[in-house]
């Protein structure tokens, strides 16, 4: 739970806040859990929603840092050439909206399948598939922009 909230928020203090909200919400809503076998997806949906709430509650909107160490698993899949640079990936991830970061982290870092993504995010499977596609495309574009900036700065 912490790893997911930290990967989405990129900030330890915010991740701890999201964890606290997650645990409170899970405790309050536990009676509403109809299928105990789906507990993991149910809880991850609460984590994602808590992370969104933390972002909303912050007085100023800012893009959070997502450390390269938490998203290195994405690097080889996200970079257009199949060779990801963790620092470039880190910078590119910072430019994405939280919804796109969330779906990328859930799928690539947490290893969630499309059906699980749909359940966690409370959306249809087709919507999860299209959002994952859009997030990958946005990440590839952000990586290309970061690489272009790095080339300009280098020479």
Residues 25 and 89 in one domain: no
Residues 90 and 150 in one domain: yes
Q: Is residue 63 part of a domain?
A: no
pLDDT band, very low/low/confident/very high, at 83 (cuts 50, 70, 90)? very low
Residues 80 and 124 in one domain: yes
Domain boundary among 15, 31, 57: 57
Residues 51 and 11 in one domain: yes
Residues 49 and 92 in one domain: no
- Structurally, the chain folds into a number of domains equal to 2
Q: Are the CB atoms for 94 and 64 separated by under 8 Å?
A: yes
pLDDT tens sequence across 5-45: 988 888 888 899 899 999 999 999 999 888 888 899 899 99
pLDDT of residue 91: 82
% of residues, the chain, pLDDT over 70? 82
Q: Is residue 139 part of a domain?
A: yes
The CATH number of residue 144's host domain is: 1.10.10.10
Residue 82 has pLDDT above 50, yes or no: no
Residue 79 has pLDDT above 60, yes or no: no
Q: Is residue 35 part of a domain?
A: yes
Residues 50 and 88 in one domain: no
pLDDT of residue 89: 80
First-residue to last-residue Cα distance in the chain:
42
Q: Is residue 111 part of a domain?
A: yes
Residues 27 and 86 in one domain: no
Residue-averaged pLDDT of the chain: 81
Q: Is residue 62 part of a domain?
A: no
Residues 46 and 74 in one domain: no
Residues 92 and 29 in one domain: no
Residues 21 and 77 in one domain: no
- Which of the residue ranges 72-76, 120-124, 150-154 has the most confident prediction, judged by mean pLDDT? 120-124
- Give me the long-range contacts of 107-110 (CB less than 8 A, separation at least 24): 107/132, 108/71, 108/73, 108/74, 108/77, 108/78, 109/3, 109/7, 109/70, 109/71, 109/73, 109/74, 110/3, 110/4, 110/44
- Which phi and psi angles does 63 have, rounded to 5°? -85, 130
DSSP 105: I
Residues 83 and 148 in one domain: yes
Domain interval for residue 31: 2-57
pLDDT tens sequence across 86-145: 778 878 888 899 889 989 988 888 888 899 999 888 899 999 999 999 999 999 889 888
């Amino acid at each position: 739970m912490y790893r997911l909230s930290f990967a989405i928020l990129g900030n330890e203090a915010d991740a701890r806040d999201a964890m606290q909200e997650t645990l409170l919400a899970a405790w309050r809503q536990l009676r509403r859990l109809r299928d105990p076998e789906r507990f993991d997806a149910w809880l991850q949906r609460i984590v994602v929603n808590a992370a969104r709430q933390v972002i909303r509650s912050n007085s100023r909107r800012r893009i959070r840092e997502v450390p390269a160490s938490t998203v290195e698993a994405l690097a080889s899949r996200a970079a257009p050439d199949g060779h990801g640079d963790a620092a470039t990936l880190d910078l590119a991830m910072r430019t994405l909206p939280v919804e796109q970061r969330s779906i990328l982290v859930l799928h690539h870092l947490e290893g969630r399948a499309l059906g699980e993504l749909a359940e966690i995010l409370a959306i249809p499977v087709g919507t999860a598939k299209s959002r994952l596609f859009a997030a990958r495309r946005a990440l590839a574009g952000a990586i290309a922009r970061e690489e272009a900036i790095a080339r300009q700065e280098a020479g």
